[in-house]
């Protein structure tokens, strides 16, 4: 059976770096996924990420990324682009571990066939700070990117009639466009 992991990457206590876990919590609250779809907050993984991705069919990660694009821009990176980056080149604060883990899983012959990094260009990484306004405005676009990839891969989901509590314990504020997200 094909399995997919949707992982939120980032430190929730560093402002925009927490967008990955934030998106995963919103996805869990807004949608029901089939049993072979796992959603998890991966925190700030290092090489320990390898054991999470070995044997997966597909991997979708959500993280804050560095880019020349404006803050809040959603940028997607397929597996080929991630693997082109040497560990010293950074797509995001965690990409050295990501590219190394993907390479290690490939060397074991058990790397995910499909990998997509849904990146949100960050603006502020202040300790204890909230998500910046541009990043909060990108939430719906990032969720849509994840759902499009699931559909492309043939995985199914359904919108909850009544969303669950998103369990975003580190933030009191929902995205500015939360009416669109939660309706």
| Domains of the chain listed by start with CATH number | 4-182 (3.40.50.1450)
d(CA 178, CA 124): 20
Task: Quote helix, strand, coil % in the chain, to nearest 5.
Answer: 35, 20, 45
Dump pLDDT digits (tens) for 136-167: 999 999 999 999 999 999 999 999 999 988 88
Report pTM.
0.87
Q: Residue 50: its pLDDT value, please?
A: 83
Q: Residue 174: its pLDDT value, please?
A: 59
Dump pLDDT digits (tens) for 58-115: 999 999 998 899 999 999 999 888 888 654 444 445 444 777 888 888 888 888 889 9
The arithmetic mean of pLDDT across residues 7-21, rounded, is: 94
**Please, how many CA atoms are within 13 Å of residue 74, restricted to the half-sphere of its CB?**
18
The percentage of the chain sitting over the pLDDT mark of 70, rounded to a whole number, equals: 87
Residue 47 has pLDDT above 80, yes or no: no
The arithmetic mean of pLDDT across residues 46-61, rounded, is: 86
Residue 181 has pLDDT above 70, yes or no: no
């Amino acid at each position: 059976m094909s399995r997919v992991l949707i992982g939120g990457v980032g430190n929730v206590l560093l402002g925009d770096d927490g967008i990955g876990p934030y998106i995963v919590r919103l996805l869990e609250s807004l949608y029901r996924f089939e049993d072979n779809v796992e959603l998890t907050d991966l925190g700030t993984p290092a090489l320990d990420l390898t054991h999470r991705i070995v044997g997966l069919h597909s991997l979708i990660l959500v993280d804050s990324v560095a880019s020349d694009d404006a803050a809040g821009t959603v940028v997607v990176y397929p597996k080929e682009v991630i693997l082109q980056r040497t560990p010293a080149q950074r797509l995001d604060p965690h990409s050295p571990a990501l590219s190394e883990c993907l390479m290690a899983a490939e060397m074991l012959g058990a790397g995910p066939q499909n990998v997509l990094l849904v990146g949100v260009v960050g603006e502020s990484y202040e300790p204890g700070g909230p998500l910046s306004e541009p990043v909060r405005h990108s939430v719906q676009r990032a969720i849509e990117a994840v759902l499009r990839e699931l559909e492309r891969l043939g995985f199914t989901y359904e919108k909850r009639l009544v969303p669950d509590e998103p369990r975003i314990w580190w933030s009191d504020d929902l995205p500015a466009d939360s009416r669109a997200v939660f309706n």
